[in-house]
Amino acid sequence: MFSQRERRDLRECLVAAAQVDERIGAAAVVGSGATHREDEWSDIDLAFRLAKGLQPAAVIDAWTGRMYKDHGAVDHLDVWSGSTLFRVFLLSSSMQVDLSFWPWETFGASGTSFRLLFGEANEPTSSSSPAPATLIGWGWLYALHARSSIARGRHLQALYMVNGVRDRVVSLACLRHGLPADQGRGVDDLPADVMVTIADTLVRGLRRGDLSTAFANAITALIAEAEQIDPGLASRLREPARELVRTACGPHAEATEDALR
């Protein structure tokens, strides 16, 4: 396990390297470090603005080599958002280091967790959140596959699919309450009654009854969140939702079918 001092020293080392790299025109710390909310579990999250005309491919090999040679990287994962590359490194100490490489014209804050370290940034833009209608759509799609998995006795697959429904419920609830919706980041700050509803969607075991109960609760929660966003859509979803519960849950379905009326 790494110490907070080791994390701080590594971040300072990376920022110093960026300052002397002529291909990088600015750098910012993002995430919890930007607002001084780090704890012992936090990672390093740095955003680099590339010089005009450059794309991530121009610098990524050199920076990746540095992470492996000098800082104990053992693997990395690439995530693209438009023309921006987020390369996420896992170090041997179990530390996570996120380095993002932004073309000149797109570099800037998209939320409050952005602190410029050197150089200049573009004007801030509003952060993008997942569209509620898309989350609802993914919710019922996972529910379809949860139903068939339960009915087929594929209990581990059913667990995965029920969790998929619940994850969309969590995101919808976070959006509704003005909390970060991605990756469950705001879930622990939801009101107590909402957290109870979400807790009821947890699968307690791999028996069909356990899966059916969690599935029925997840469907009910999904329709309740849809009602807050688009009552007309929620109304259209109720009939197929009842059918999903009835055909998946059998004798466990009656109470939930009543709740969906």
Residue that the structure tokens 């491919």 belong to: 57
Report H helices in the chain. Answer: 4-19, 60-71, 132-151, 155-176, 192-199, 208-229, 231-249, 254-259
3-class DSSP assignment, residue 92: coil
Nearest to 213 by CA among 177, 258, 249, 176: 249
**Average pLDDT of the chain?**
93
- Alpha-carbon distance 142 to 144, whole Å? 5
- Rounded to the nearest 5 degrees, what angle is found at the Cα of 41, between the Cα atoms of 107 and 36? 50
Tokens of 247: 């055909």
Q: Report yes or no: 183 and 167 within 8 Å, Cβ to Cβ.
A: no
Q: Which residues contact 68 (CB under 8 A, 6 or more apart)?
A: none
Same CATH fold assignment for domains 4-118 and 132-259: no
User: Is 78:86 a contact under the CB 8 Å cutoff?
Assistant: yes
**Which DSSP category does 44 fall into?**
E
Q: Left if phi > 0, otherwise alpha if psi is -120 to 50, otherwise beta: which for 183?
A: left
CATH code: domain 132-259 is 1.20.120.330
Question: Model confidence at 100, in pLDDT bands (50, 70, 90)?
Answer: very high
Per-residue pLDDT at 3 exceeds 60: yes
Domain residue ranges in the chain: 4-118, 132-259
Is the predicted pLDDT of residue 25 greater than 80, yes or no? yes
- pLDDT at residue 116 in the model: 96
pTM exceeds 0.85 for this model = no
Percent of the chain scored above 70 by pLDDT?
94
Q: Mind listing the pLDDT tens digit for each residue in 155-190? A: 999 999 999 999 999 999 999 999 989 889 999 999
Does residue 216 contact residue 256 with C-beta atoms inside 8 Å? yes
Nearest to 100 by CA among 69, 92, 113: 113
Question: Does 256 have pLDDT greater than 60?
Answer: no
pLDDT tens for 204-244 read: 999 999 999 999 999 999 999 999 999 999 999 999 999 99
Buried b (16+ CB within 10 A) or exposed e, 37-51: ebeeeebbbbbbbbe
List the CATH code of the domain at 4-118.
Answer: 3.30.460.10
Q: Does the structure show a pLDDT above 90 at 129?
A: no
